[in-house]
Every structure is written in C-alpha cells, then in structure tokens.
C-alpha cells in the first residue's frame, strides 16, 4: 500500500467517525464542505460550536502590533543582558589585573611559583588542581549518575521511583560547606585509614597512589566533587530519558531487542545530546566549587602526579588569600587568577560543545 | 553568659538613637572579640557614639583606611613602608592588645607537654625534620618516647595575621627560613597542608595523627587544646600565657611609631611568638567630630578597656607602653 492511499483511507475513516448520522454514501469532500458552510436542509441541525476560551480572547482584544513589538524588544533586551554581563565581568577582570598582566604576561599561566613574599606569581598549579579535581569528579560521577538515571527512568519499581528521585534532588540542595564538613569528618579519615591503603595495595602499580597519604589531597577533593555533581547530572539525565517518547522503546522492543538493547539504542542514543549537556552543567559546578574543595584539598600549590598529594584550585586560592592580600601586585595577581578561572571554564565548555558537535552531527540513531 | 552579652549588645544597639555619631572601622579578625566587646560597652556609656567594626582581615583594613573608605582600620601586622607611602589617608599605629601563637600537635601516647626550639619548628616547616623521633626534637624533650612517625605540618591556607606573627618569628630564629620562605600573611610553604582559619588548622591537627600546626593562643585556650612550650631568646622553654606575652612587649624596644615586631623578644619570661595588634587612626580626620569621638574611645580603652583584656585571653599593654600611647592619643587632633 502506498503512502497516499494509506492517508486517504485514514481520512475516510475519520470523516466516517465524525458523521455517524450523515449519509455514508456522500463523497468525503462534500461532507467537509458541509461543515464549513450551512448544513444542508434535511440533515439534523448540529448545535453551533461554542467558541473556545482562546478564540474568544483573540477575537475580543484589539490590534496586537504594539504589544508584539514591545514584547519582542523586552525579550531582545533580556538576551542582550547576557552578553553585557559576560563582557562586563571580563572587562573588570582584565582591568583590575592589568598590573600582573603587564608584569608576567602569558608566563603567568605557565609558571608554577606562587610566592607573595618575593612577588612571584604563576597560576599553573592552580589550573592543574582545578582541572585534575574536576575531571576526577567526572570520572567518578558520570557512570554513577547514568546508572542512577537509567535505573530511575527504566527499571525502577514504581513505589521506589519517587523516594529515589526525591533523595537525588535533596543531595543537590545541600550547601557545599555542609559537604565540606562531612568530608572533613568522614571522608578524610576514611581515605586515610581504609580507602588509601586499599588503593595502594591493589592499584599501586599505576604510580597514581604514591607518597604519604594524609587523607586530604586531590583524590579526596575529586570524590567530594563527584558526590556534589552526581545529583545534577543524574536528575537532568533522568528527565531527558523520561522525555524520550515511549513509542521509541516499544518499537525497539517490538523488533526483538532485549531490555538493555532497548535502553541503549532506544533511550540512551536519543538522549545523548541532553546527557552531554547534563555532564557539562556538572563540570561547570565542579570547576567553580570553592568551599568544600578548600576544606579537603590541602591547599598546597604544587603539581604532583600522585592523587594523594595535596593541591590547590583557582577558586580556593582566591577564597583563601583575597581578604588578607596586601600589595597591589599580589591583589592584581589574585584577580588574574579569577580571569584564569573564567577562561578555563570557557575553554573547557567550548571543547565539550565541539566534541558534542563532532560526534553527533547529522548522525541518526544507530546501533554502534 | 554569652547570651547575656549578646542581649546587652542588642540593647546597646537599640539604645543608640538616630542622632548618634556613626564611626566605621574595618580590619583584623584576631582582636575582633575584644573590639566588639569594647565598642558595645563604650556605646552603653556614650549613647551618642556608635562604632561599627567589620572584621574583614588586616589586608582589607589597611586598604580601606588608606583609601578613606572607613574612619579607622585595624591590623595584626604593621603597615610596610611602601604601604604607608602609597596611602591616600595617612594613619598612625595605636597598639591595643597583644596576642600569641602556640604550636599544637597530635601525638598518640605522648602525654607530656612537648618543648620546641624555634629552629626546630622552622625545619619542620622546611621539611628538613620529617620524623617525630628526630634527634633535635628528642634533645629538647628528654625522657619522652617519641614515635618514628612522619610529621604532617599543617599551616593556615588563608592569609592571616597569625601566619604573619608565626613566619616573622621563624624568620628571626632561622636564616634558612628567612631566605626560603620569609614573613608575610601568606607565604609559599615548602611542605605540608593548608587549612582555612584557626578552626581548620585545629580540626586537622585534632584528627590527623602525628600532625603539627599553629593556632592563636586565645583559640587554643577557648577550645582546651594542649599546646607546646617554645624556647625564648634567653634559652628558657615558656608556656604561652598573657603574662609571658606582656613580658615580651615590656622587653622589646618600641619605636616612636609603634611599628615593631616583638617576636623572639629578650627577657627571661618573655613568650617568643607574641605580637601587638594595632588600630590605624587617620592623622588628619575629615570630620572633627568623628576625630573627637575616636579620641574619646581610645582614652576610655587605655583607662578602662585594657583591664578587661586578660579575662578574654588577650594580653594588656605593659604599663610603660600604655603610658606612651596615652600621650600619643592626647596628641590626636
């Protein structure tokens, strides 16, 4: 059966349904015209259709031209405010850090000396710490968050769904200083006495777990960040997966897929762009997180290959040193650290978007 | 007691009428508890003067008073010559009280109070002394069974007057520390981990076995933390106390502008890691009535306020210094 034939039979069926009382031998086109014009004499009088709320509102209001134009103007202003805010922030950061920009130039981003006493400032250890903790956090949180989201949206028994969703969203609402306190009192001793020795014993060959383990350091900061971004990623991913139309799932199942194949090809494939968006949002929070990280990272500006070593992040050093910074160059360098954080966030976001674009452009859902 | 104080403070605020002279100050966090008590008591006696103080840190205090944003500043470390030269509003330093920094540690199985020499503390933070049973620690603590564990040095990650006093002391007793680290509110520590605030350092030391750190005396006392004795310039191990701190101030030679470090001061009973904390008062006030109100407060502070310092674990000014400050205050126009 061709597509056109299929369409016409559907139309036939529809008109037939709508006109149970009318003569079934009348051609479809005529019946449609009956509805638009006066009903033919002899056919039973249908009551005039009651105009809907919307139709009544639209017919009663005057010309919408003025309202439309001013609305468009206001919306444009809202959109432009985003540009204005970003440009304003960047301009102020650059203006207030001109002293250190003039003094250190691009070397600021590539040297690792941060010494307020001798007036040497380099942001590299902080950039390293920020990126290392954030990617550690993603490494831990993304698989976990996807698991939570798949479970809630596809496999969860109905009575469990609401409590689990509620708890994940509750995690997102906990202030970061509370996470920090919890980390100091629970995660740090756990890391020092149980998790650390375990990692050394079984993963020592990776050389990632060397040196003294005091419980504070890059790994602890990565874990607390992972816990903090888990609810963001999992709840957005869950919403996106729930918005995949059910007929996609039914179609894949009907073709003989198992449940896992259905989730992979029917749900995850369709939701992948949204999932990447969720991960980027999580990454954004991880990059800028200050308080909880400061409390467990050890605040020591060095670039170490061991995950047990203390580190420092861009956000932490600003929070730690800004209030007591004396000297114009010191202050200006701290503001340039803020600029560095701004740039790191933009660059990481741009790379993530580029990746999404490269992976998904024009690609339809497929099995691979 | 605290509730009563708070209630008294609130009453004082309520009592201040709209016509009250508002004086705004900002700066050091270390003397904040006693400053807020002084300001509220002074407001009770003088309902026409209301002093607001924000403890935003010494660096912020120096910046704001130098730019004329606030009527007076407060700092834990004296202003540098450069800072004085570049300041728009010229100020004088008025010492108010003294504080001390004490070494704290966490060693299981050691119940005695440990002794520390200044150069030993410096080398712990330089990473040269890395084990608790190092012969140099053992030499100062005969008869103590020190474990062979690695020392975890803990420092203040946030810029602070406490770090300034501590590094200033270590720079005086160790040439190596002075060359490699130096004295400032934040420095580049060669080793160890940083924690935010006295509470951060204290929390980490309490938790982490074999750690070593430094906190303000007032904090250690308020939280019943055991702390070590420190060897002073006369070779005696001294436990920090308000008397030891006042003795350090009495032993030091104090210049006319009061910008002086009294760490490692001479005197048999002087506690070596001590320091003044200062108010920064503009030389030329923009408003004569404000200047008069500040002067009134300073006179009250020297005659009455100082007596309350010791019960809040701050050391009062030695009598000789207080007399000199009185003359300086009398000279404020």
Instruction: Determine what percent of chain A is predicted with pLDDT higher than 70.
Output: 85
A268-290 CB burial, b ≥16 within 10 A, e <16: bbbbbebbbbbbbebbbbbbbbb
Chain A residues with CB under 8 Å of B211 CB are 214
Q: Do B187 and A215 touch (CB under 8 A)?
A: no
Task: Return the structure tokens found at A278.
Answer: 């969720």
- Kindly state whether residues B191 and B59 are assigned to the same domain: no
Q: Is the Cβ of A292 closer than 8 Å to some Cβ of chain B?
A: no
Please state the φ and ψ torsions of residue B121, each to the nearest 5 degrees.
-60, -45
- Kindly state whether residues B144 and B24 are assigned to the same domain: no
The domain that holds B231 is classified in CATH as: 3.40.190.10
Measure A232 CA to nearest chain B CA, in Å: 27
| CA-closest candidate to residue A132, choices A297, A252, A9 | A297
Measured CA to CA, the distance from residue B297 to residue B49 in angstroms comes to: 9
Beta bridge partners of B211: B152
**Which pLDDT score is estimated for B308?**
87
Measured CA to CA, the distance from residue A277 to residue A261 in angstroms comes to: 23
- Kindly state whether residues B20 and B54 are assigned to the same domain: yes
Examine residue B258 and state whether it is found in any structural domain, yes or no.
Answer: no
- Kindly state whether residues B34 and B174 are assigned to the same domain: no
Q: Is B130 exposed, middle or buried (0-12, 13-18, 19+ CB in 10 A)?
A: middle
- Kindly state whether residues B105 and B216 are assigned to the same domain: yes
pLDDT in tens, B265-280: 998 999 999 999 999 9
Q: What is the ipTM of this complex?
A: 0.80
Examine residue B59 and state whether it is found in any structural domain, yes or no.
Answer: yes
Of B191, B216, B250, the position where a domain reaches its end is B250
Rounded mean pLDDT of A316-339? 90
Under a CB-based contact definition with an 8 Å cutoff, are residues B185 and B159 in contact?
yes
Examine residue B256 and state whether it is found in any structural domain, yes or no.
Answer: no
pLDDT in tens, B198-212: 888 998 999 889 999
- Kindly state whether residues B189 and B318 are assigned to the same domain: no
Examine residue B90 and state whether it is found in any structural domain, yes or no.
Answer: yes
Please state the φ and ψ torsions of residue B77, each to the nearest 5 degrees.
-120, 140
- Kindly state whether residues B123 and B202 are assigned to the same domain: yes
Upper half-sphere CA count for residue B254 (Cβ side, 13 Å): 22
Structural domain range at position B38: 2-97+275-330
Rounded mean pLDDT of A239-260? 92
Examine residue B262 and state whether it is found in any structural domain, yes or no.
Answer: no
Sorted by sequence, the CB contacts under 8 Å of residue B222 that are 6+ apart come out as B313
Examine residue B264 and state whether it is found in any structural domain, yes or no.
Answer: no
Measured CA to CA, the distance from residue B123 to residue B192 in angstroms comes to: 12
Chain A residues with CB under 8 Å of B62 CB are 326
**Which pLDDT score is estimated for B185?**
86
B26 has pLDDT over 60: yes
Q: Do B157 and A192 touch (CB under 8 A)?
A: no
Distances from the Cα of B20 to the Cα of B12, B43, B49, B332, angstroms: 12, 10, 5, 22
Where do we find the tokens 């502008």?
Answer: B257
Q: Is A225 exposed, middle or buried (0-12, 13-18, 19+ CB in 10 A)?
A: buried
Interface mutation vs chain A, best among B157, B183, B187, most A CBs within 10 Å: B157
Please give the tally of structural domains in chain B.
2
Q: Could you give the angle at which helices A124-150 and A218-242 cross, rounded to 10 degrees?
A: 40
Domains of chain A: 70-361 (1.10.3720.10)
B289-311 CB burial, b ≥16 within 10 A, e <16: ebbebbbbbbebbbeebbebbee
Sorted by sequence, the CB contacts under 8 Å of residue A192 that are 6+ apart come out as A213, A214, A215, B208
- Kindly state whether residues B58 and B73 are assigned to the same domain: yes
- Kindly state whether residues B129 and B162 are assigned to the same domain: yes
Please give the interface size between A and B, counted as residue pairs whose CB atoms are below 8 Å apart.
97
Query: Which pTM value belongs to this model?
Result: 0.81
Measure B172 CA to nearest chain A CA, in Å: 15
A130 has pLDDT over 60: yes
Among A33-37, A233-237, A242-246, B295-299, name the one with the lowest average pLDDT: A33-37
Of B250, B267, B288, the position where a domain reaches its end is B250
- Kindly state whether residues B87 and B184 are assigned to the same domain: no
Q: Do B193 and A310 touch (CB under 8 A)?
A: yes
Beta bridge partners of B227: B104
- Kindly state whether residues B48 and B25 are assigned to the same domain: yes
Task: Indicate the average pLDDT of chain A.
Answer: 84
Beta-strand runs (E) in chain B? 21-27, 49-54, 72-75, 91-105, 115-116, 152-156, 193-195, 211-216, 229-231, 237-238, 274-282
- Kindly state whether residues B150 and B285 are assigned to the same domain: no
**Which pLDDT score is estimated for B287?**
82
Of B205, B234, B250, the position where a domain reaches its end is B250
Chain A residues with CB under 8 Å of B76 CB are none
Rounded mean pLDDT of B147-168? 92
pLDDT in tens, B120-145: 999 999 999 999 999 999 999 998 99
- Count of CB atoms within 10 A of residue B199's CB? 12
**Which pLDDT score is estimated for B2?**
58
Which chain B residue lies closest to A301 (C-alpha atoms)? B188
Examine residue B171 and state whether it is found in any structural domain, yes or no.
Answer: yes
pLDDT in tens, A52-101: 888 888 888 777 788 889 999 999 999 999 999 999 999 999 999 999 99
Task: Return the structure tokens found at A115.
Answer: 């010494």
Examine residue B66 and state whether it is found in any structural domain, yes or no.
Answer: yes
């Amino acid at each position: 059966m061709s597509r056109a034939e299929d369409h016409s039979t559907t139309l036939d069926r529809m008109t037939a349904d709508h006109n149970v009382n009318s003569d079934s031998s009348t051609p479809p086109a005529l019946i449609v015209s009956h509805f638009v014009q006066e009903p033919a004499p002899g056919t039973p009088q249908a009551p005039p259709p009651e105009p809907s709320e919307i139709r009544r509102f639209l017919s009663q209001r005057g010309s919408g031209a003025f309202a439309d134009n001013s609305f468009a103007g206001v919306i444009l202003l809202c959109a432009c405010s985003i540009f204005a805010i970003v440009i304003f922030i960047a301009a102020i950061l650059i203006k207030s850090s001109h002293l250190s920009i003039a003094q250190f130039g691009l070397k600021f981003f590539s040297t690792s000396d941060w010494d307020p006493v001798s007036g040497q400032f380099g942001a590299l250890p902080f950039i390293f710490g920020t990126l290392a903790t954030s990617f550690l956090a993603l490494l831990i949180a993304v698989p976990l968050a996807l698991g939570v989201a798949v479970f809630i949206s596809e496999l969860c028994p109905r009575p469990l769904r609401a409590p689990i969703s509620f708890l994940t969203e509750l995690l997102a609402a906990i202030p970061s200083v509370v996470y920090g306190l919890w980390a100091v009192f629970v995660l740090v001793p756990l890391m020092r006495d149980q998790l650390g020795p375990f990692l050394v014993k079984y993963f020592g060959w990776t050389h990632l777990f060397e040196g003294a383990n005091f419980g504070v350091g890059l790994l602890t900061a990565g874990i607390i960040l992972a816990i903090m971004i888990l609810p963001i990623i999992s709840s957005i991913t869950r919403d996106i997966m729930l918005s995949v139309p059910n007929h996609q799932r039914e179609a894949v199942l009907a073709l003989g897929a198992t449940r896992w194949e259905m989730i992979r090809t029917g749900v995850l494939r369709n939701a992948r762009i949204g999932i990447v968006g969720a991960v980027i949002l999580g990454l954004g929070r991880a990059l800028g997180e200050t308080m909880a990280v400061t409390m467990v990272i050890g605040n020591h500006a060095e670039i170490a290959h061991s995950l047990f070593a203390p580190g420092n992040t861009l956000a932490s050093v600003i929070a730690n040193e800004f209030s007591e910074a004396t000297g114009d160059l010191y202050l200006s360098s701290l503001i340039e650290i803020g600029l560095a954080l701004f740039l790191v966030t933009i660059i990481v976001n741009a790379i993530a978007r580029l990746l999404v674009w490269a992976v998904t452009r024009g690609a339809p859902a497929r099995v691979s | 007691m605290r509730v009563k104080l708070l209630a008294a403070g609130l009453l004082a605020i309520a009592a201040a009428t709209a016509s009250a002279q508002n004086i705004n100050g900002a700066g050091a966090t270390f003397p904040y508890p006693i400053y807020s008590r002084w300001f509220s008591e002074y407001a009770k006696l003088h309902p026409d003067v209301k002093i607001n103080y924000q403890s935003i840190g010494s660096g912020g205090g120096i910046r704001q008073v130098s730019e004329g944003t606030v009527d007076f500043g407060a700092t834990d470390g004296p202003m540098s010559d450069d800072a004085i030269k570049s300041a728009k509003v010229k100020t004088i330093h008025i010492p108010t009280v003294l504080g001390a920094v004490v070494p704290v540690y966490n060693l299981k199985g050691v119940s005695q109070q440990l002794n520390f020499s200044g150069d030993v503390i410096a080398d712990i933070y330089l990473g040269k002394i890395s084990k608790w049973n190092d012969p140099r620690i053992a030499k100062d603590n005969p008869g103590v069974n020190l474990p062979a564990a690695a020392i975890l040095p803990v420092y203040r990650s946030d810029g602070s007057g406490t770090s300034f006093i501590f590094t200033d002391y270590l720079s005086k007793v160790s040439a190596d520390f002075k060359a490699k680290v130096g004295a400032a509110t934040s420095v580049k520590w060669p080793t160890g981990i940083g924690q935010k605030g006295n509470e951060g350092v204290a929390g980490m030391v309490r938790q982490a076995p074999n750690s070593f750190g430094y906190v303000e005396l007032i904090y250690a006392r308020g939280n019943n933390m055991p702390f070590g004795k420190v060897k002073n310039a006369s070779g005696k191990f001294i436990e920090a106390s308000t008397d030891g701190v006042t003795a350090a101030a009495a032993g030091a030679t104090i210049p006319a502008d009061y910008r002086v470090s009294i760490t490692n001061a001479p005197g048999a009973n002087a506690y070596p890691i001590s320091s003044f904390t200062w108010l920064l008062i503009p030389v030329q006030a923009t408003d004569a009535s404000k200047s008069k109100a500040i002067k009134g407060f300073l006179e009250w502070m020297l005659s009455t306020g100082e007596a309350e310092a010791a019960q809040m674990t701050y050391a009062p000014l030695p009598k000789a210094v207080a007399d000199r400050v009185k003359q300086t205050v009398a000279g404020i126009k």
